[in-house]
Amino acid sequence: MNEAFYSVGQIARMLHMHPKTIQRYIREGKLCAAKIGKGWRVTGHDLSRFTEENGLGSATPQAPSAPRERARATAVIDIAAGSHENAQRILRSLNASMISKPPEYGRASLVTQYLETDGTVRLSLWGNLPFMTAVFTAVEAYLKQLEDGRVTPLSKELTI
């Protein structure tokens, strides 16, 4: 029986992930691997099982399937929150929205933090163009409502 073995670097390229992420999956036991020489090797079967269990799709290199996946963007948004309570509400709303984001946004990342000295909420974003558009639109709509005095900062949820 001829079993295919893949290195951490090969898997990282196939799954479009950083090699350190693959090593962490191996260390945490999420991806079965065997140490061969100085490097880790993963069987094709174990790699397939890992990708299926984690919803990563096929582990074979593919061209992006749709135009929206051909472009990725990164951004940082600073929002003047005013108070700690307003900042917490914004952070909770955005983090909850990420959990229930639509599948068409694909792999996306939203890192939030509250800069207490400035009273600012900082958003660090990475994702495809529909995801980025949705986040910018949600933040813009939220700030517009605050500016118009139609809602208070604690009464409206941000949704992506």
What are 105-143's pLDDT values in tens digits? 888 888 888 888 889 999 999 888 998 998 998 888 878
- Position 1 confidence tier, pLDDT thresholds 50, 70, 90: very low
- Position 58 confidence tier, pLDDT thresholds 50, 70, 90: low
DSSP H helices in the chain:
8-15, 19-27, 44-53, 84-99, 129-148
Q: Which of 59, 65, 71, 62 is nearest to 126 (CA)?
A: 71
Q: What is the DSSP letter of 106?
A: -
Residue in the structure block whose two tokens are 């990164």: 74
> Do the Cβ atoms of 14 and 59 come closer than 8 Å?
yes
Amino acid 29: pLDDT? 87
- Read off the pTM: 0.53
DSSP string, 22-66: HHHHHHTTSS--EEETTEEEEEHHHHHHHHHHTT----S----SS
- Position 155 confidence tier, pLDDT thresholds 50, 70, 90: very low
Close Cβ partners of 11 (under 8 Å, ≥ 6 residues apart): 17, 22, 31, 42, 47, 59
Close Cβ partners of 44 (under 8 Å, ≥ 6 residues apart): 3, 4, 5, 6
Residue in the structure block whose two tokens are 């558009």: 133
Residue 67 predicted with pLDDT over 60 = no
